[in-house]
Amino acid sequence: MQVCLVLLLPPVCGGRLTQLSASIETPNYPEPHPQDMDCVWRITAPEGHQIRLKVVDFQLESSDNCSIDYLEIRNGNFSDSPLMGKFCSNNMQAGTAMYSSSNSLYLNFVSTSYFFGFERGFKINYDSGATGCGGLLSTATGGFRSPHYPHQNPHSSECFWTITVSAGNRLNLYFDHLDLESDSDCSVQFVEVRDSDRTGQLLGRFCDKSATPEFITSVTNSLWVKYRSQSSYSGTGFSARYDINCSSVNFESHVGVIESPNYPESYPYKANCSWRIQAPIGNTFKLHIVALKLETGLDDRCGADNLTFMTFYADYDIPNDSKTLCGYWPPQYIETIGDVINLQFVSDDLKENEGFRLEWQVIGCGGGLSALNGHFQLQNATNEGAYQCEWTITVPLGRKINLEITKLDLECKTGSVEVYAGRNRDGPRLLHQCHSTSSSLMISSPSNTMFVYLHYQDYSPKFEASYKSVDGGCGGRLTAHSGVLLSEEHTKKYPPDSECEWLLELEKSYIIAFSLQAFQMETDQYCNTSYVKIYDGSSSNAPLIKSFCGGDKPNIPATFKSKSNMIFVHLQTGGKKSSYIFDASYTTSCGATLNADKVGSIFSHAFGPQECLWYIVSKIPTRKVSMTVVDFELSCEKGEYLYFTDGLDPTPTINGASQNKYCGNSFPPTFYSQGSAMTVKLVTKGQVEFEADYSSADDACGGKYKATDSNFHGQFISPWYPDNYPNNLECVWELEPLAGNGIELSFLAIELEVRNSSFEKIFIERCVNGKNIARLYGLKTAFTKTFTDKVWIKFRTNKEGTSTGFTATWGPSFVNYLTQNQGKLDFLNGKKDTDYKWIITVDEAFKVNLTVFFLCTGSSNYVKIYDGAEREGGILFKQEQSMSDKKMLISSTNQITIKVRVRSSVKLTIIWNSIISEDHKVEGCGSILKAQNFPQNLTSPGYPDNYPDNTDCWWIIKAPLSSTVVVNITTMAIERQGPDCASSDYVEFLDGGSRKRRSLGQYCGSKRDSLQIRSLHHTLEVHFKSDKTRNFTGFVLSYEIGCGGMLNPASKISSPNYPEQYPPYQNCTWQVSALPGRTILLDFEENFSIAEPKVFTPNSSCSGDYIQLFNGEDSYAPPLVAPNSSSTDGKYCGTVSPRSTETGSSFLMAEFISDKSGSGSGFSFNVSEVEVGCGGHLDLTYERPSGYFTSPNYPRNYSHNLDCIWVIKAPPTKEVQVDFKGSFSVEYSE
């Protein structure tokens, strides 16, 4: 008997999608979908991108409110993200496009089991595109739009997009909509398209839809798009899309790469691509198949998806070889026959795969030569067919090339050799030789480049040459702060057929002012043989600043300024005149091109007329540039001014010239660019004071920011800031610090819409969708908080109102408390003129074993490492210079303090672990014990028998941080002689595991009643000692975790069992101590539940269970009352957590009491140390008619150089009475 088992699995649907583009289909599509389905897709695109959904087909059961079968789409990554819509056949059609506001979407498809329908479901394609002003796009298809499209852009802006598809392919760009204010030359508002990047070939500048072609095709696999708008002009901007073009692509390069569309992501269905690679005549190819994964087909004969290549010679149409590949091919090399390869890739509509990557290299004669001296020749020449060989020789600027052809055997009817000055055959020709010669031929180039071209047919020539580079020639590399460009003869006159190149290169803190004094050359209408070209960069691939052709008569002198610290000049003279005149000089200019992704400053302390230009650019196109002026005084009467503009054009825009132009002594507001670049222009006539800070700010809706060696600080802002943010947003930012560092998060300004009961909020969380650490809403001037680990910020808006949003910065925290027994600390740079501190504390009874692995520091910095706390420990290590050798240090206690003072760049790496202290090593009798939440027993040696003579035992009992150890002695029978226990046997309890541990008591004799000992720290030591005389049974004790303790800042204080129910009869006390001159910030979690009295009387509020806060080191200190709290004695209970509050001194005491009448989940709050603050606004109300304040650090001495102002405000018609209580001690002054 045979049994056939069939396992029926439910259809698979949903999942997390991170591909740049893909399709989403209902199960069984295009067949009817099953019943009772619940599928969730989460789509995540790269940061700074948005997702476009395009509905290909949609058929779901129609119903009222789409209650039967439906697709729900949410604008975010979670099930409670803002709803974009709930769709069925009633309200969704094929062809519909939808855009996310952030880089994530949540799709939920639900089908019920009530009806059996025949609907085929849906198919939706998605891709990702850039959002905002600029971006990077890399999908095979995609789209992007101008800011605020389809609404008018309210700002003058300059945006840049770079689109890159897989190698070896081209791009088609389509403008579906273009609505700009047009003018004759598109100089005001326009879209400019270039190949590759901003230095590439101009493919068009457009401002009128009617004059825009149907599509624009790239030359390479990249396009660069620039959009410039003016806020004073009307128009809604543009909407563009692109797709990959892989049909009839031609190559003639010696090396190259071809990839399947969308590689390494899956290639599209129904692809039909073709490429043709042409080598110099007579050469062949070496192909490298780097990767190939294609669908095979049912018959394993490549009938589905395949890559076919054919090779042949250009002079013949008959292929030499043909091969078709599919399936999986491991990396391999293939050598071809022929100088042409045709490749074709096709795919069907059934299945997709990763695709392929193929590299090629031309095999034969020719190539590039860059050594100072060299030799090359023709090898293995044959007398059949046609051949071409090309050599390009390049030596450093300021040198010229002497070429010697030592062997040449040619016939003019079969070939020739040609030599040109320059990099190709466009330069002046220095030699044309088509016959054999018995003597050497000597050719000298006028500059540092030379091109040699040899071609022959049906002949076997001989050719051999060598070259040397020598000093001289025109051109060179100039690095002085000013200079003159001269010919080889050091004059402004140049001989015919000259080709000269200069590179002017200064430090990165400068730009260059180039001045043309004289220019006379023979007429060259097409600028091919007589010209000078000036480029803004290191080569002729850089953006062209200006070109002058032979016959031009420029206005002399003509001055041009670079945007970078380099200018490249290319001069070529014709061959008709006997001499040519070119006279030019250069000098430094105030300004620079700066990287906005690294926080920096610009300044000027000019004493005379000056015009400065700073170009501040983020390398990430989706970011903005922010500029904050910190010192400003310009004379309007003298014509001095500061000007900001969006983009890289220093010319004032029509409306921006007045809107963003400032003088006087009132500081301009912080300026944000719309795109990734900003130009700052400063014009001075006399002595001025100016300084401004700059950085890049990301206004993408969410993102992940991980502190790295190159990215230690950052700024992010709400979408469209400082304009109003869009509705129905959900943006999530994740911040992660470097090892050993916390994060200081600062919201510099917050302005959110508040409408009735609908609040737009910022949530701060320790994990995605976790409990709220803080919630911000409405209008706030500033908010700063420090976190010890990762933190998530969620910004959610509603569909009603809107406002400007927020701007936030993040960076390393200034004080870090590290309590792990081992770890790593990395630090890079930091804020200038700032001290950073790390306090490493390991378990008591241990020491810190620390190694400084790497220290690289600039001038005026220092690193100090203290043995213990800074205020009381000696210095173990001090270093003000870089060091390459590692340094090992061991503390004498369980704490080390590291202090770094930042004045310039500094990089530090430290690793530490804990080692047991010598005087705490347990040898023989004793051990290290771990306390738990339940009692554990400890007995003297030998119990219940007598303990031995001469016993010396040490037990170290450790509880978690922020806890204590509770010991109950239940039985004790120990020898006692004399009035105390020191002269006989005893058991002693010591609080804390440091050298400064204090005794909690020595005990001997006998005890019948239970005795409790409670530590103040999380470590308790038990020392049992016996002499050689009488002995007894010893002791029995239990130990467990207790609540309360003495803590340092950066700790967490929680009720027992939190967040579970706390037990009855609790009496917990915590004492927190910060450094002198610092205060302590308390931040309660939202989950707060302490039982209230069942019956209230006027004096019964929080009389049963409560937590009470004291603004000092003990219960005699004044109460600590949270803002907007009705408490007057610092007691809190109920279910409303106290607001964040701050002590007035460097001490805090917290006491938790519970009785037997009720319980709750309790409380938890973080304590952190903050810089001392004094003064403030104190509001008295009818509910809170009194309050208190103290001088900083009271009752200890206040610090020097303080200026504190308190403003106390009472309700109308009431007066304020101030009483000074306790000690009053202020230095006397006249």
Q: What is the mean pLDDT, run by run of 10 residues, along the chain of 1230 residues?
A: 41 79 86 87 83 88 84 86 84 83 88 70 84 80 83 77 92 91 80 87 87 90 89 79 92 90 87 92 89 80 86 78 87 86 89 89 88 89 79 90 91 90 87 88 89 88 92 84 84 85 87 92 85 90 88 88 91 81 90 85 77 88 85 87 84 52 85 88 85 85 75 80 81 86 84 62 66 67 76 82 84 85 83 82 84 75 84 78 83 88 80 78 75 90 91 88 88 86 89 74 84 87 90 92 84 87 89 79 87 64 89 88 83 88 87 87 86 60 66 64 66 78 71
What SS3 state is found at 559? strand
Alpha-carbon distance of 668 to 30, in angstroms, equals 61
Distance of alpha carbon 756 from alpha carbon 1093, whole angstroms:
34
> What pLDDT score was predicted for residue 249?
92
Q: How many Cβ atoms from other residues are within 10 Å of residue 442's Cβ?
A: 10
Backbone angles phi, psi at 65, to 5 degrees: 60, 20
HSE of 20, CA atoms in CB hemisphere, 13 A: 25
State the Cα–Cα distance between residues 449 and 475, nearest whole angstrom.
11
**What's CA 572's distance to the chain center, in Å?**
45
- For residue 918, give the nearest of 833, 995, 980 by alpha carbon: 995
If DSSP codes are grouped into helix, strand and coil, which group holds residue 593? strand
Q: Is the pTM of this model over 0.75?
A: no
Tokens linked to 1227: 């230095």
89-123 per-residue burial string, b: 16 or more CB within 10 A, e: under 16: beebeeeeebebbbbbbbbbbbbbeeeebebbbbb
**Residue 658, pLDDT score:** 47
The helix (H) or strand (E) run that includes residue 659 is helix 656-659
Q: What are the residues whose beta carbons fall under 8 Å from the beta carbon of 834, sequence distance 6 or more?
A: 814, 901, 902
Q: Who's near 1216: CB < 8 A, 6+ residues apart? A: 1180, 1208, 1209, 1210
Beta bridge partners of 1133: none
pLDDT reported for residue 7 = 39
- Chain position carrying tokens 């018959």: 299
Number of Cα atoms under 13 Å in the Cβ half of residue 510: 17
- Structural domains of the chain, ranges and CATH numbers in brackets: 15-128 (2.60.120.290), 133-245 (2.60.120.290), 249-363 (2.60.120.290), 368-471 (2.60.120.290), 476-589 (2.60.120.290), 591-696 (2.60.120.290), 700-812 (2.60.120.290), 815-916 (2.60.120.290), 924-1042 (2.60.120.290)
CA-based max dimension of the chain: 127
User: In the chain, what are the helix, strand and coil shares in percent, each to the nearest 5?
Assistant: 0, 50, 50
